[in-house]
Amino acid sequence: MIEKKYLKTKPQCKVKFALPADKVGNAKKVAVVGDFNNWDCNANPMKKQKSGVFASTLSLGIDAAYQFRYVLDGTEWINDEMADDYVPSPISYDTNGVISL
């Protein structure tokens, strides 16, 4: 799930990335990674909510498109079904989700 809130005072958008409990399974650590954080699994860990959803909110520049994925326990990579688009990954046979702002 992705929520976008555009800021009126600066050219940024607050993007809330969220993964429901059924997508996370038994994972203990979930991170959102992408070209906005150099695909660093430690840069944007997601916090587990009381509902079991893992979520993280990032401020990203507008008029841009960002590739991203989620990483579960540092090993399993998954896409968001609500991504704006998908593109082939340059390093595997998978696809990366794209968010356009």
4 - beta bridge partners?
Answer: 15
Q: Which domain holds residue 37?
A: 2-100
Please report the pLDDT score of residue 15 as a whole number: 97
Q: What is the pTM of this model?
A: 0.93
Rounded Cα distance between 97 and 76, Å, is 15
Rounded Cα distance between 58 and 36, Å, is 10
Residues in the chain: 101
Cβ atoms 13, 43 nearer than 8 A: no
What CATH number should be reported for the domain holding residue 56? Answer: 2.60.40.10
Domain total of the chain? 1
Nearest partner of 77 among 12, 18, 23, judged by Cα: 23
Predicted confidence pLDDT, tens digits, the chain (101 residues):
899 999 999 999 999 999 999 999 999 999 999 999 999 999 999 999 999 999 999 999 999 999 999 999 999 999 999 999 999 988 888 999 999 99
Question: Phi-psi category of 73—alpha, beta or left, where left has phi over 0 and alpha has psi -120 to 50?
Answer: left
